[in-house]
Amino acid sequence: MSNDIKNIAILGSTGSIGTQALEVIGENPSLFKAYVLTAHSNAHLLIIQALQFNPAYVVICDESKYPEVKQALAGTATKVLSGINSIIEIVTHPEIEVVLTAMVGFAGLEPTIAAIKAGKNIALANKETLVVAGGLITELAKQHGVKILPVDSEHSAIYQCLAGEEDNTIEKIILTASGGPFRGKTSDYLVNVTREHALKHPNWVMGAKITIDSATLMNKGLEVIEAKWLFDLEAEQIEVIVHPQSIIHSMVQFEDGSLKAQMGLPDMKLPIQYALAHPGRLKNNFKRFDFMDYPNLTFEKADIKTFKNLGLAFEALNKGGNMPCIVNAANEVAVAGFLNNELGFMAMSDIIESSMQSIKYQTQPTLDDYLNTDKETRIFAQNLIKQMPVKAYNLI
């Protein structure tokens, strides 16, 4: 093995981003090594991945699955660990250069903090971390001299547009949104949509949580907050536009009015590869974009009257403090409830709005405050769901 091989820890290797990252690593074995792989409870896939990629460590969060993984990997060089604390510890390993945060939700916060404190560059897919504690994370990254390289396609697009423009002033950025599976639908229609409808995204195949977030437009709301922290912007500098074809991944407008866009077919392997290979670009054989296949690239305004979550996210961004953390926790609980058929599509926004009104607002939260806010909001939101009239949404 050459010395300039990059050792990568993939947090959430069994997920949508994680498996695509392993494809990228598999295609570039002389550049990247999967040094650590982690999963929540999918022992089966984690074992298959470990046998294929021979990582130095795997972590299975769910401790009841530890014996299964341990036994399957006995006789290999891979060490098996378990529990979330093992993830927080292993990301600091001296051999690791980049930590790809591809786990879902608030659970990504503490491992990301540990990795930054250990001086690791972060390839950030886990947008919830920046939504919850963007100020704290970006400050820590500055202190420890680490880069946060966005994996989210919109933010990767902006990052790419900004290459070579370090001293130039951004007037605004324009985040594109596909509009999700319910673009153009009315509230009357949305009241009755099921999880099966919502899980069918027109352009991207992703994990369940982000797919629901895309259907409610909360994903774009989370991305607005993510962009604020990644690019040091004010809320007024962030615009959202619906672009159903998902070819323009996002744009930057500079102070001279010039607009730069990054374009391509929707394929997460490209932003993953860009983040892992940064600052270089790697040759690949991904399918190329052809203008003749897309004679009409279209744009429309986001309907924030119907899709209230996007407006709520902007409100949280303007409010600051622990408000985005409240929104994130309430949203995680609401999405899990919707996926369990415990509440309807439109009720997800009600849960978030009530949480924003009820949980104690703090202007200057510490890490402990964020952890407490997250916990309190989850309890509050779960209680709200319990009080909702039961309806068999999955039967509609």
CB of 23 to ligand NDP, least distance (A): 13
Binding mask 262-281 for ligand NDP (x = CB under 6 A): ------x-------------
CB of 3 to ligand NDP, least distance (A): 30
In the list ligand NDP, Mg ion, none, the entry touching 204 (Cβ below 5 to 8 angstroms by class) is ligand NDP
C-alpha 128/C-alpha 11 separation (Å) is: 14
CB of 199 to ligand NDP, least distance (A): 12
CB of 257 to ligand NDP, least distance (A): 30
Binding mask 81-120 for ligand NDP (x = CB under 6 A): ---x-----------------xxx--x-------------
DSSP H or E run through 8: strand 6-11
CB of 230 to Mg ion, least distance (A): 12
Q: Rule CB under 6 A: choose which of 29, 41, 52, 168 binds ligand NDP.
A: 41
C-alpha 89/C-alpha 100 separation (Å) is: 15
84 or 162, CB closer to ligand NDP? 84
C-alpha 8/C-alpha 98 separation (Å) is: 5
In terms of Cα–Cα distance, which of 314, 333, 316 is closest to 325? 316
Chain positions contacting Mg ion, by CB under 5 A: 152-154
DSSP H or E run through 180: none
C-alpha 141/C-alpha 381 separation (Å) is: 32
For residue 133, the SS3 value is: helix
In terms of Cα–Cα distance, which of 182, 193, 21, 197 is closest to 98? 21
- 355 touches ligand NDP (CB under 6 A): no
C-alpha 137/C-alpha 192 separation (Å) is: 39
Contact between 140 and 229 (Cβ < 8 Å): no
- Phi/psi of residue 318, each to 5°? -65, -40
- 14 touches ligand NDP (CB under 6 A): yes
Q: Rule CB under 6 A: choose which of 83, 135, 181, 207 binds ligand NDP.
A: 207
Q: What is the dihedral of CA 66, 69, 70, 71, to 10 degrees?
A: 120
CB of 256 to ligand NDP, least distance (A): 31
Q: Is 129 exposed, middle or buried (0-12, 13-18, 19+ CB in 10 A)?
A: buried
CB of 268 to ligand NDP, least distance (A): 5
Question: What is each CA distance from 127 to 122, 169, 338, in whole angstroms?
Answer: 12, 25, 21
In the list Mg ion, ligand NDP, none, the entry touching 125 (Cβ below 5 to 8 angstroms by class) is ligand NDP
Contact between 280 and 36 (Cβ < 8 Å): no
Q: Rule CB under 6 A: choose which of 97, 128, 332, 342 binds ligand NDP.
A: 128
104 or 252, CB closer to ligand NDP? 104
- 180 touches ligand NDP (CB under 6 A): no
DSSP bridge pairs for 98: 8, 121
- Given the rule CB under 6 A, which of 16-24, 237-245, 319-327, 366-374 is the region that contacts ligand NDP? 16-24
**Residue 130, CB half-sphere, CA atoms under 13 Å: how many?**
28
- 226 touches ligand NDP (CB under 6 A): no
206 or 323, CB closer to ligand NDP? 206
124 or 251, CB closer to ligand NDP? 124
Summarize as ranges the residues that interact with ligand NDP (CB under 6 A). Answer: 12-18, 39-42, 61, 84, 102-104, 107, 125-128, 152, 204, 206-210, 268
